């Protein structure tokens, strides 16, 4: 009963087997996904928007990521748990990145870390991998740069941008990353990058031609309010289900029908 490892994921690419990844931010939800057989769970810094109430991932801290990652590890048995390095925790130097990656491994027990950036993060990825930290890279749209990008635009459109994306993907593979997230990339380009790489690509808004897919769990389960991005498919309406349960409970308390005898002690 061991956890999924980087070798399992490399073997899956060899066999042409596709796999699904979901985010998780707490032990109960992570346990549900683990029992459902999701092989890789990402404690994404999307926790900023989806669990902590921030407007972007930018404010998320190492303390927050450590607490959430530890909860996800405790709530799971089989999944590989990947901890996201938040904005500002790895860009200063490879040494800073190693210190914070080691913290997520030692204090939270994650099996790998993820960080954003292609060529710009290659030196950092190299040091982490040499030091024994499995690294999932993340290229294309990198949400921690939301203020520099002026939003969340699709990446890799046009010849020059496509070449830049290909260079970024190759740079993280050469640096030793065991997988790479491709976010908000035209499907055809993502499929081409996937064919060119030996490591698995994990698409989000990147079409069906990647080796694996990832979705933010609160998007996938219909838990987030407001606008749903084009690449998100809602597999459930949890917001509706939970809201209805809360309204019925409150109605029954107000009406004096809960608690009834069946839910009271004699
Ligand atoms: O933080 C996150 O959830 C992510 C995935 C969307 C890849 O980085
Ligand atoms: Na992230």
Domains of the chain: 6-235 (3.20.20.60), 238-266 (no CATH)
Residue 87 has pLDDT above 70, yes or no: yes
Which pLDDT score, from 0 to 100, does residue 1 have? 61
Ligand 1 centre to CA of 124 (Å) is 19
**What number does the ligand 1 atom closest to the CA of 50 have?**
3
Give the tens place of pLDDT for each residue, 75-85: 999 999 999 99
Residue 252 known to be catalytic: no
Quick check: CB of 44 below 6 Å from ligand 1? yes
Work out the percent of the chain whose per-residue pLDDT is above 70.
100
235-255: average pLDDT: 98
- Spot the catalytic one: 183, 188, 196, 252: 183
Note the Cα 108 to chain centre separation in Å: 16
Q: Is the ipTM of this complex over 0.95?
A: yes
Residue 90 has pLDDT above 70, yes or no: yes
Give the tens place of pLDDT for each residue, 119-150: 999 999 999 999 999 999 999 999 999 999 99
Residue identifier of the C-alpha nearest atom 1 of ligand 1: 44
Quick check: CB of 48 below 6 Å from ligand 1? no
pTM above 0.80, yes or no: yes
């Amino acid at each position: 009963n061991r956890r999924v490892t980087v070798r399992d994921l490399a073997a899956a690419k060899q066999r042409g087997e596709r796999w699904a990844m979901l985010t998780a931010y707490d032990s109960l939800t992570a346990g549900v996904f683990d029992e459902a057989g999701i092989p890789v769970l990402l404690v994404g810094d999307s926790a900023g928007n989806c669990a902590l109430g921030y407007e972007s991932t930018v404010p998320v801290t190492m303390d927050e990521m450590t607490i959430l990652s530890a909860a996800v590890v405790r709530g799971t048995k089989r999944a590989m748990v990947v901890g996201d390095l938040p904005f500002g925790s790895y860009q200063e130097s490879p040494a800073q990145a190693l210190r914070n990656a080691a913290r997520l491994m030692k204090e939270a027990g994650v099996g790998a870390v993820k960080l954003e950036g292609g060529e710009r993060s290659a030196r950092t990825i190299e040091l982490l991998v040499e030091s024994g930290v499995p690294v999932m890279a993340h290229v294309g749209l990198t949400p921690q740069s939301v203020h520099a990008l002026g939003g969340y635009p699709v990446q890799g459109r046009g010849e020059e941008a496509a070449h830049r994306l290909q260079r970024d993907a190759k740079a993280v593979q050469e640096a030793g990353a065991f997988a790479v997230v491709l976010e908000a990339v035209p499907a055809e380009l993502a499929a081409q990058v996937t064919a060119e790489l030996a490591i698995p690509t994990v698409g989000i808004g990147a079409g069906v031609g990647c080796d694996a897919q990832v979705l933010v769990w609160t998007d996938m389960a219909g838990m987030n309010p407001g606008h749903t991005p084009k690449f998100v498919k809602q597999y459930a309406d949890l917001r509706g289900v939970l809201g209805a349960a809360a309204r019925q409970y409150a109605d029954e308390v107000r009406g004096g029908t809960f608690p009834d005898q069946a839910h009271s002690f004699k």
